Structure 1
Amino acid sequence: MSTPPLPPLPPGSYRPATDRWGSFSKLAARLPEGSLAVVDRTVAQLHPGLVPALEARRPRAIVQITGGERAKNFASLEKVLAGGLSLPRSGTLVVVGGGTLGDVATVAAHVLKRGVRLVQVPTTLLAAVDSSLGGKGAVDLVARGRVVKNPVGVFHYAEEAWICPEFFTSLSDAQRREGAIEAWKMVACLDARLFRKYTRQPPTLERLVKDARRLKESVCAQDPYEQSGLRRVLNFGHSFGHVLESLSRFKLSHGDAVGLGMLCALDAGRRLGVTPEPVALQVEQALEQGPGVLGRERIAALAQRASLKDVVTLLAADKKAGKSGELRMVLLTAIGAFDIRDVSEAEWRQLWPAWKKGIRP
């Protein structure tokens, strides 16, 4: 008696990344008719051929939202869901934009009709190397007058990602920097050989994207839903990065915030004896000379405007907290190697005075 074939994976389940490189107009021809499109309004203005290429596929709706952290809320989510009311469960949602819009669309794809097919089209370098891969989507929430990042979220893997280099031509230097910071983060944590190669000769943009996506996919394949703990390595720099991002009221971009958060993580690792001094120095210098991480004076400017009570509140709301409230941090043990440590409030508080002065503790 033959074994019946396994049913197809439910929409949003883990599947290996399928990346397709090319022009948007060519890749858009793959889109099923009657899909739902979510598009960053600014990207549509910068690339006039984008919307006509989608309209040629007769979508049910093209929902345009201006990207940025302020768009990552329930109002934007509701707008996307309203646009997809007539989408069948077998339908497709394609999102063309940066990480914040991709996050909102991922949540929408997960809850719309209890799960529809998702196609990610990252238009920023940051989204291309990070957020468009790995299945995570989230929206922000206001708690006690502060915006808390990502407390409401889902896992919903895209079936495809379309990487269209034409969208990267309109990025600012700052946008390129923050995407490069995220890519270097993965290289520093996961691949010592590649780190040494990057420090000798900076990679091309295409090489940077391909390397970062390969490294992130290798982690997600082993821990697709953050259950084994391996995937926590992707949070290197995020604990205090999210704090600084919130304290700036999101005037500090996510990529730049992660860069500063990595400096904080290197400091914590040195203080706890986890990160050797030469490793911390080498990584900090590489981040300065490679992607161009912002200086410590930016940490000081943000730290000086906040009370420790505000910081404690933001860290307590962070999903990476330990069982007893400790801050669960990714700390480097060597280039290409890491450990997960619970850092107590008393331990990170010892670093705060130096951070407020903009110096290495």
Structure 2
Amino acid sequence: MNPYPPGAYRPPNDRWGPFSRLAKRLPEGSLAVVDRTVARLHPDLIPALKARAPRAIVQLVGGESAKSFTALEKVLAAGLSLPRSGTLLAVGGGTVGDVSTVAAHLLKRGVRLVQVPTTLLAAVDSSLGGKGAVDLTVKGRVVKNPAGVFHYAEESWVCPELFSTLSPTQVREGSLEAWKMVISLDAALFRRYVRKPPALEKLVKDARGLKERVCAKDPYEHTGLRRVLNFGHTFGHVLESVSHFKLSHGDAVGLGILLALDVGRHLGVTPEPIAAQAEAALAEGPGVLGRERVASLLRPAPLKDIVTLLDADKKAGAKGELRMVLLTAIGSTEVRDVAPETWRALWPSWTKGVRP
């Protein structure tokens, strides 16, 4: 008997290897959700799935449009005949993984989920930790992830050959998310990374290990321990939204970290040398985009739109405080409620592309 109810927390069960070999583990009659671009770039993928006689193969266009109720309905409709003991296989980046996680949670009140991350960002972050969500449009702006679930995957297949077709931008954004975890969670690993940046497979294994260490202590975000994983996300989500999602999530988180370091320095939480060390490591390691990119996005954005996005995302109090993760030392963070006047004081520098 399976000791875990559908979607409940379970320790990660990572299997590394070629997709063609791991696909043989897929039960017949499963539902597969596949990123259309991945299927095109890896022509052996769909035949390997068809060999397992799936109930259906749903191909979605990856990107933020995949995290819509329209895409969710398409997956749910394809899985109507899936039994509760059935399997939903998600092959794609974070957005395909997100909508698939929500669908796996809803179908028959919870079916088995297998994650196959095809981007570095999904491999180091979104495919682990059980979270899935879809977006909503509020006052004409897309708000990320307000409707979601926890539904942990029973297995994750990590297939390095799927990363071979990633663009430099995709490699950078996944690396930024991994470095975020190293900077905020593990000082010793940070020192090793600064001396010698890791190979891609080690980066993935390290990041997955760091995230699992956090998720195991707070699998459903009840205790607040998982908030550390939101380092860089408060303003990162804002930058994504005002760019109309032309700025990738990983790049947005990288820039969001720079702004979080500014907030921390302004409040006296982040020591100046620590902020400088972290910013330099992000520039020299994964290659965070420059502050001019922040300015180019924030300058044309009406301040009232920024307030709306912040209110919808990480609002902590009635007076509009932001609950932000701030760095206190390499490998150590603190959650603070940040008053609106704090970030507004930094706004002029941010819109000029300079460090406050």
Distance 1:10 1:187 in 2: 32
The structure 2 residue matched to 1:24, chosen from 1, 19, 42, is 19
Instruction: Verify: 1:321 aligned to 2:283, yes or no.
Output: no
Q: Deviations over 1:229-285 (max 9, x none)?
A: 110000000000000000000000000000000000000000000000000000000
Is 1:351 paired with 2:337?
no
Deviating beyond 6 angstroms after TM superposition, the runs of 4 or more aligned structure 1 residues are none
The alignment status of 1:103 with 2:110, answered yes or no, reads no
Partner of 1:192: 187
Matched with 1:211 is 206
2:122 matched to which residue of 1?
Answer: 127
Rounded Cα–Cα distance in structure 1 between residues aligned with 2:2 and 2:279: 48
Letter in 1 for 2:16: W
The equivalent position to 1:9 in structure 2, one of 4, 9, 12, is 4
1:84 is aligned to 79
Deviation at 1:307, TM superposition (A): 1.1
In structure 2, what residue type is equivalent to 1:54?
A: L
The residue aligned with 2:231 is: 236
Read off the aligned partner of 2:244 and give its amino acid letter: R
Matched, 1:63 2:58: yes
| 1:230-269 matches, cutoff 5 A | 230-269=225-264
Query: Which whole-Å CA distance do the structure 1 matches of 2:65 and 2:271 have between them?
Result: 39
Matched with 1:179 is 174
Opposite residue 22 of structure 2, the aligned amino acid is L
Q: Secondary structure at the match of 1:341?
A: strand
Task: Please state how far the C-alpha of 1:323 moved relative to its aligned partner.
Answer: 3.1
1:152 equivalenced with 2:147 (yes/no): yes
Which AA in structure 2 matches 1:113? K
**1:3 match:** none
1:298 aligns with 2:289: no
1:9 CA drift (Å): 1.7
Q: Does 1:113 align with 2:97?
A: no
Measure, in 1, the Cα distance between the counterparts of 2:145 and 2:339. 22
| Cα deviation, residue 155, structure 1 | 0.4
Aligned-pair identity (%):
75
Residues 39-78 of structure 1 aligned to structure 2 (within 5 Å): 39-78=34-73
User: 3-state DSSP class of the match of 2:25?
Assistant: coil
SS at match of 2:62: coil
Cα shift at 1:7 = 6.8
**Secondary structure of the corresponding residue to residue 9 of structure 1:** coil
TM-score by length of 2: 0.99
Q: For the aligned residues, what is the CA RMSD?
A: 0.8
- Give CA-to-partner distance per residue, 1:128-169, whole Å, 9 cap, x none: 000000000000101110000001100000000000001000
One-letter identity of the residue aligned with 2:253: V
Q: Secondary structure at the match of 1:176?
A: helix
In 2, Cα distance between the equivalents of 1:111 and 1:305?
A: 40
Quote the Cα distance in structure 1 between the aligned partners of 2:339 and 2:77: 44
Q: Determine the C-alpha separation between the residues in 1 that align with 2:350 and 2:298.
A: 7
Which whole-Å CA distance do the structure 1 matches of 2:151 and 2:303 have between them? 35
Instruction: Map Cα deviations across residues 316-348 of structure 1 (whole Å, 9 max, x no partner).
Output: 001x32133310000000000000000011111
Partner Cα distance (1:133, 1:323) in 2: 29
Partner of 1:308: 303
Q: Shift in Å at residue 358 of structure 1?
A: 0.3
Among residues 31, 36, 54, which one is paired with 2:31 in the alignment? 36
Q: Which residue of 2 aligns with 1:167?
A: 162
SS at match of 1:162: strand
Gaps of 5+ in 1: 1-5
Q: Any stretches of 5+ residues in structure 2 without a counterpart?
A: none
Give the AA of the match of 1:322. Answer: A
Deviation at 1:223, TM superposition (A): 0.3
Tell me how far 1:71 sits from its aligned partner. Answer: 1.7
Q: Secondary structure at the match of 2:310?
A: helix
Give the Cα–Cα distance (whole angstroms) in 1 for the partners of residues 3 and 130 of structure 2: 18
* 3-state secondary structure, aligned to 1:317: helix
Task: Give the secondary structure class of the aligned counterpart of 1:333.
Answer: strand
2:174 maps to amino acid? G
* Counterparts of 2:306 and 2:179, CA distance in 1: 26
